[in-house]
Structure 1
Amino acid sequence: MLLAAVASLLLLQPVPAAAPRTVTPRGDLAADEKATIDLFRNARDSVVFISTSRRVADVWTRNVYSVPKGSGSGLVWDEAGHVITNYHVIEGASGAQVQLADGRQFNATLVGASPQHDLAVLKIGGVGFKAPGRVPIGTSANLQVGQNIFAIGNPFGLDWTLTKGIVSALDRSLPSENGPDIRHLIQTDAAINPGNSGGPLLDSAGRLIGINTAIYSPSGASAGISFAVPVDTVMRVVPQLIANGRYAQPVLGVESDEELNERLKRLSGINGVFVLGINPGSSAQRAGLVPATRSMRGVVPGDVITALNGKPVSRFGDLLARLDDFQAGETVELTVQRNGTTRKLSLALDSAD
C-alpha cells in the first residue's frame, strides 16, 4: 500500500517540459560533396528506368498475356531517342517500357543488340519527341586504377540511385560459354546491384566512361566487385547497332569448340586454339590453314593458333575477343603451330556479314 501511495504521488508531480535542442549550423558543403551533387544533377535526366515484359499463353483459354520479366537501367544516347542498355536486360523479353527522370513513359522498340559486348540499343519517342540532356562522352583508354568513379542506376527498382567508388582494375575479361569473351572490362568497387545493369559509369568530370554490366557475388548482391563495358567499346559498337541493327565482327573464318579444344590441349601439351574447321572462301582458307581431321584413332590435329599479333591465345573465346580489337580489312599476324613447326602468317580479316 505504501508503494502504491508513493507511486500515485509521483504521477501527480508536474513533468518539466523537454528543452528543445539547438540546431548546429552546418556550414558550407565540402568541395568534393558539391562536385558530386552537381555531377548527379547534371547526369540524372539522361538515365532511364527500363522494365521488360514477356508474353505468355494460357493453355486453357488460349489468351496471351504480357507479364513482367525484369528491370534495369539505360542511358539516353542521342536526340533521336536511342537508349543504350545491356543485352542481358532485354534478353528474352517481348517488350520494354522506358521511364525518363521527368516521369514520361514510352514503349520501346529494339534497334539492335550485340550479345558479345552485352550491349543493346532501344528506341523511344516519336514525332515531336524531346530528349533530355545527354551525358558527355569520355574515354576509357587513359583510365587509372584508383581514380574516382560514379554509377547511376535503379538497383532493386530503387530508381535513380547514385553510388561511388574507384577503378579497382582494368582490362578484365569475363569468359562466355557460347561466344567471345567480354574483354577490356573496367572493374570497380562501386555498389552495383541487380537493376544497375545498363546504367552509366562516370568519371569525376561527369563524363561517360562505361556501362555497368555485371557483378561478382555469390549472393547476387554487391560484394565490392563489379564490371563495366568501357566507353571505347560502346563508341565502336553502338553506331553499328543504330545503323545496321547488328555488329559485324571481324573474323578469320576458323571454327573451333571450347570443350574439344581443352581436351586436345591436355592430350598434346600445346596451349592454343586448335583449328577444327575452315569456312569456304575465308581468309583462313586463302592463307592455307589446315583444320584437324578425324580418323579411326580419333582427332588428328592440324594447325594450332597460339598467338595473335604476338599475344598468346589459348581459348577460342579469347581468340574471338582479341579479333574484336580490329576492323574487317585490317591485317593481323597469326602464330601457328603444326607438327612441331611454328610459323607466322599474315591474314586480312573478313567481316562476319
Structure 2
Amino acid sequence: MDDRFSRRLAVVTLAALVLILAWRIGPDIYRDHFAPPAEPRLVTPRGDLAEDEKATIAVFRAARDSVVFITTSERVRDFWTRNVFEIPRGSGSGFVWDRRGHIVTNDHVIEGASAAVVQLADGRSYSARLVGRDPSHDLAVLRIDAEALPPPLPVGESATLEVGQTVLAIGNPFGLDWTLTKGIVSALGRELPASNGRPITGLVQTDAAINPGNSGGPLLDSAGRLIGVNTAIYSPSGASAGIGFAVPVDTVNRVVPELINTGRYTPPTLGIRYDPEVNALAARQGVRGVLVLDVIPGSPADAAGMVPARLTRDGRLVPGDVIVGLGGMPVDEVDDLIAALDRHRPGERVRVTLERAGERREVEVTLADGV
C-alpha cells in the first residue's frame, strides 16, 4: 500500500514539474518555432482634425515667424585685472511690430542689460539697439537691421475682451524656442506693481501657461490678433501655476508708437499737484477722491478753473476741488487717477468730475503732455 502511494505521489509530482516547465518555457518554444514574426500594428485612421484644432494650428503657423527670441548680456569689469567683458544676463521673447525692424518686448527683459541679440524663427540673429523703454507699463522697443523681416502681427483690441474667450501665447519658456500654449481669458482689469513702484493697471489674466522666457511674447486671440504682451506670472515656485498676466494691447498700441517716436512715454496731465500721503490722510477722514493741492498756471486744470486746497493760519488743510471722476472712470485715490489718465493721450478732451464743499460739478479739459 505504501509503495503504491509513493509511486502515485512520484507520478503526480513529476506531472506537476512537467506542467510547470511547460508553462515557463512553452511560450518561448511556441514563439521560436510556431508563432509568426511580430509586425507593426495596423494604424487606425484618425479622420480629419477637429475644427478648433485646425484653427489653433493655423494661428500658430501664421504668427510663429513674427515671434523672436531675445538674449541679453551685461558688461562687467574684473576687479583685479580691470578688464571689461560681457556675461550672459537673461532671455525672453518679443515680436515684430513693423516693417522697420522694431521689436516689442517687456522692459524687465532688457533692464540692466548692456547688449541684446534678437534671433528670428529662421535662425538669423541680429544685434539690437534700444529705442525706448517704459517701466510703468513694462514695455520696451528694440530695433534690428534685417532684410526680409517676417510680417508684423495683426493688432486687435483689448477693450472688447470677454472672460472665457480663447487666447494663445507664443514664446520661449526656459529657452525652449517657439512654444505654443492655449487657455482662456481668466479675468480683466488686474493690477500688478511695476519696477518703478507705480501699478500696472488693466492687465489681462489668463490660464495659458506663461513661464520664465515667455515674457515679452504675444498673447493672441483665436483670430491670431495681438491682444496683449505677456508680462508676468503669479507663482511661488516661479513656474506657471495657471495665473499669468499680459499688458493689454490697447495700452501697447498707445505706448509703443510714442517710444518709437520719442524714446520715452509721457502720460497726459491735468496740470495739478497732489500728494499720496496727504490723500491717504484725507481718506481716513472720509474724503473720497484726489485732493487738488496746487494748480499749475496755464495748465488744463487752470483753464478749467480748478481751485486748489489752502492752509489756514493754524495749519489746517481746507480742501478745494477734489477729483472724483475722469473720463467716465471713478477716482477714489491717486492710483485711480493715474490709471484713468493713462487711458488717454495728450490733446484729448475729457470730462472731469469735481467735488467742492459737498457740491459736485463736471468740467471739460484738454489734456497736456506730461513730464
* Counterpart check, 1:19 vs 2:38: yes
Distance in 1 (alpha carbons) for counterparts of 2:40 and 2:324: 73
Deviation at residue 274 of structure 1 after TM alignment: 2.6
Distance 1:102 1:176, change over 3 A: closer
| 1:248 counterpart (261, 266, 276) | 266
In 2 relative to 1, CA 201–107 (structure 1 residues): closer, same or farther, beyond 3 Å?
A: same
Contact 2:309 2:318 in 1 (8 A): no
Aligned-partner Cα distance in 1 for 2:309–2:217? 43
Q: Which amino acid aligns with 1:31?
A: E
Q: What's the secondary structure of 2:31's corresponding residue?
A: coil
How far is the alpha carbon of 1:49 from its aligned partner?
0.5
Instruction: Give the count of matched residue pairs.
Output: 349
Change (3 A) 1:311 1:62: same
Please say which of residues 229-238 and 296-305 is displaced more in the overlay. Answer: 296-305
Q: CA deviation at 1:92?
A: 2.0
Shift in Å, 1:125: 1.6
Residues in 2 aligned to 1:14 and 1:276: alpha-carbon distance in whole angstroms:
97
The letter for the 1-side match of 2:169 is A
Give the Cα–Cα distance (whole angstroms) in 2 for the partners of residues 249 and 207 of structure 1: 26
Q: Which moved more, 1:103-112 or 1:319-328?
A: 319-328
Alpha carbons of 1:193 and 1:177: their partners in 2 closer, same or farther (altered >3 Å)? closer
The unaligned stretches of length 5 or more in structure 1 are none
Q: Secondary structure at the match of 1:16?
A: helix
Give the AA of the match of 2:300.
S
2:210 to 192, 196, 203: 192
Alignment of 1:1-353 (within 5 A): 14=29, 16=31, 19-22=38-41, 23-126=43-146, 129-176=147-194, 178=196, 181-266=199-284, 268-286=285-303, 287-291=305-309, 293=311, 301-352=319-370
Q: In structure 1, what is the equivalent of residue 9 of structure 2?
A: none
Q: Equivalents in 1 of 2:276, 2:72: separation in Å?
A: 33
How much has 1:209 moved relative to structure 2? Answer: 1.9
Q: Return closer, same or farther for 1:175/1:338 CA change in 2, 3 Å cut-off.
A: farther
Distance 1:311 1:138, change over 3 A: closer
Structure 2-normalised TM-score? 0.83
Q: 1:141 & 1:198 partners in 2: Cα distance?
A: 20
Structure 2 vs 1, CA of residues 301 and 64 (structure 1 numbering), >3 Å: closer, same or farther?
farther
Aligned residues of 2:108 and 2:138 also touching (Cα < 8 A):
yes
State the shift of 1:115 in Å: 2.2
Contact 1:181 / 1:317 at 8 angstroms: preserved in 2? yes
Give the counterpart letter for 2:286 in structure 1: G
CA RMSD between the two structures: 3.1
Cα deviation per residue 1:248-268 (whole Å; 9 max; x = unaligned)?
3211122334344323311x2
Amino acid at match of 1:319: L
Distance 1:159 1:349, change over 3 A: same
Post-superposition Cα deviations, 1:80-114, rounded to whole Å, max 9, x if no partner, equal 11111111211222221111111111111011122
Q: More helix per residue: 1 or 2? A: 2
What is the CA-CA distance between 1:177 and the residue it aligns to? 7.8
Percent identical = 60
Residue type matched to 1:30 in 2?
A
Post-superposition Cα deviations, 1:179-207, rounded to whole Å, max 9, x if no partner, equal 65433322221111121111111122222
Contact kept, 8 Å, 2:271 with 2:301, in 1: the verdict is: yes
Cα deviations by residue, 1:53-87 (Å, 9 ceiling, x for unpaired): 22222222222222222211100112211111111
Equivalent-residue separation in structure 1 for 2:93 and 2:278 (angstroms):
38
Q: TM-score, normalised by structure 1?
A: 0.86
Residue identity matched to 1:243: N
1:38, distance to aligned residue in structure 2 (A): 1.9
Question: Does the 8 A contact of 2:309 with 2:317 survive in 1?
Answer: no
- State the structure with more CA Rg: 2
Kept in 1: contact 2:136–2:196 (CA 8 A): no
AA in 2 matched with 1:208: L
